[in-house]
Structure 1
């Protein structure tokens, strides 16, 4: 598909999912006997505040595992934790195969749940994980947030927006975050194919977009961070990802050593997934390709 991705991201998204679904299904069916998946656990009162837990039997028995909390995309208006029974289950399942506890989080959508509801739901899911993940073999002090597209915006908002400063301090335990093809700036440019979703979530008043955008608050993030973009990205998302990485890096370079905690002393990581697009960058998990997953595991263990 290559660089034509951006000409029709909806049609091309469907082609990508159709291509990867059989590979993911084969991997699921080959290894399902070693897994126990707990489905549709409530972390809030809304019907979409649900999550699934993936953990191998050995992980449940041994405990103290890293926790990967995945937040799906969907342009703020759509999406679910299990798009077709395969995508996005493939992400937490792949990490569960590697000894982690994988959480797959569904959240409320715009326009019924506008900014900052998505980040509120991330916070609620984190709180649930801290209280319950040990029951599945996870370490509540080793929770890694992974957000794709709109889900990446929600993760980044939770980590950096001043609205969540007190909440972050009262619920420690996030050991790091990976933002994958994340919507880090609210824009409604004419060539933004998801402008309607941006308006629905961030509001009709464009003068408030900067204050509500994760990029504005990037320098506040004090947790280990990895930013991932695809080579063939939705318009502007690769540029926003690079800018986000640069702002976090510059902030940590400027901060005096005495003012930095251990997390802030770690430079953020940046990765461009060559030959991938906005959908395949997550759809490829558990398909046999492991470049990004291996890099993320290395990040978790650094």
Structure 2
């Protein structure tokens, strides 16, 4: 498949025009717009999958006792044989109340498959959903999946010291909370031992893509019911439970990515999160402390769904930027 750098450059002109029309009104019908984007990318992703029969996939490996505490591992045979590979642990979105690691057999498989093609061991994580599993269950599951990865990635050729967390939408919220929320770091009273505490070493880095970093139930937030189901009925708790409240606690290399056309407010929340981390790290640097790398990227012409649905479709702009961040 021909690799392209131009945003949406692997889509037809007609489809790009439709993306441009729905972009400014994305939040008016996120379900219909999401479905259109998934339908647009599925044939491209399917073609890439068919062209890569060598990719090894082990599915539905348990990292906990709940039926949704399952993950898939993608790896190329040469990566497994060589060993020492970077590990990508991907956490999908779904407004806290829905979503699967594989929506239709291609999306979101496309994300770990692309990273596996680049020589990584890639893990696709499913997690418990609200209202059955409210805050902080999603972040607990990220922590548990990370603990599983540390124990098992070596047999797939991965380096347990080089695990990068990548979360999209609600999955990005769970990644951010697992890294910064004091309720979860450490998780001494939780059913899982905390893998994010000082020992063993923290993740090698994290990428938050179109993440829900502030819990809000504003009238024009189409996912307000999901926020309420996960974070609870007491809105007075939302500010403290939001990942933004604990952004300065995150002390790993961090990349924040937003799309040009987001679910309402997510681009602003991503920018605010980045700014808060940047301010904290600047203060630390001024005090002579060593600080971790920090990056921000906006994906022009992309929307909340295409920002991940385009992986393994031929367009490599974001993927290449993330790999450069990993390897810097």
TM (norm. structure 1) is 0.97
Q: Does 1:249 align with 2:271?
A: no
Task: Give the C-alpha shift of residue 171 in structure 1.
Answer: 3.8
CA offsets, 1:45-101, max 9 Å, x none? 000000000000000000000000000000000000001000000000000000000
Partner of 1:280: 306
Residue 122 of structure 1 aligns with which residue?
142
Structure 1 unmatched ranges of 5 or more: none
Separation in 1, partners of 2:44, 2:31:
21
Give the Cα–Cα distance (whole angstroms) in 2 for the partners of residues 295 and 258 of structure 1.
30
Pick the structure with more helix per residue: 1
Aligned residues: 298
Provide the residue aligned with 1:70 in structure 2. Answer: 90
2:216 aligns with 187
- Within 5 Å, give how 1:1-302 maps onto structure 2: 1=19, 2-32=23-53, 34-166=54-186, 167=194, 168-169=196-197, 170-256=199-285, 260-261=289-290, 264-266=291-293, 268-302=294-328
Query: RCO greater where, 1 or 2, for CA within 8 Å and sep 6 or more?
Result: 2
Cα RMSD (Å): 1.1
1: CA distance between counterparts of 2:239 and 2:24? 29
1:205-231 deviation line (CA, Å, top 9, x unaligned) = 000001100000000100000000000
C-alpha distance in 2 between matches for 1:177 and 1:45: 26
1-structure distance, mates of 2:315, 2:244: 30
Whether the 8 Å contact between 2:202 and 2:252 is mirrored in structure 1 is no
Do the aligned partners of 1:93 and 1:102 also contact (CA within 8 Å) in 2? yes
Runs of 4+ in 1 over 4 A off after TM superposition: 256-259
> Which runs of no fewer than 5 residues in structure 2 stay unpaired?
1-18, 187-193
SS in 2 for 1:31: coil
In 1, are the aligned partners of 2:96 and 2:226 still within 8 Å (CA)? yes
User: Normalised by the size of structure 2, how large is the TM-score?
Assistant: 0.89
Of stretches 166-175 and 87-96 in structure 1, the one that deviates more from structure 2 is: 166-175
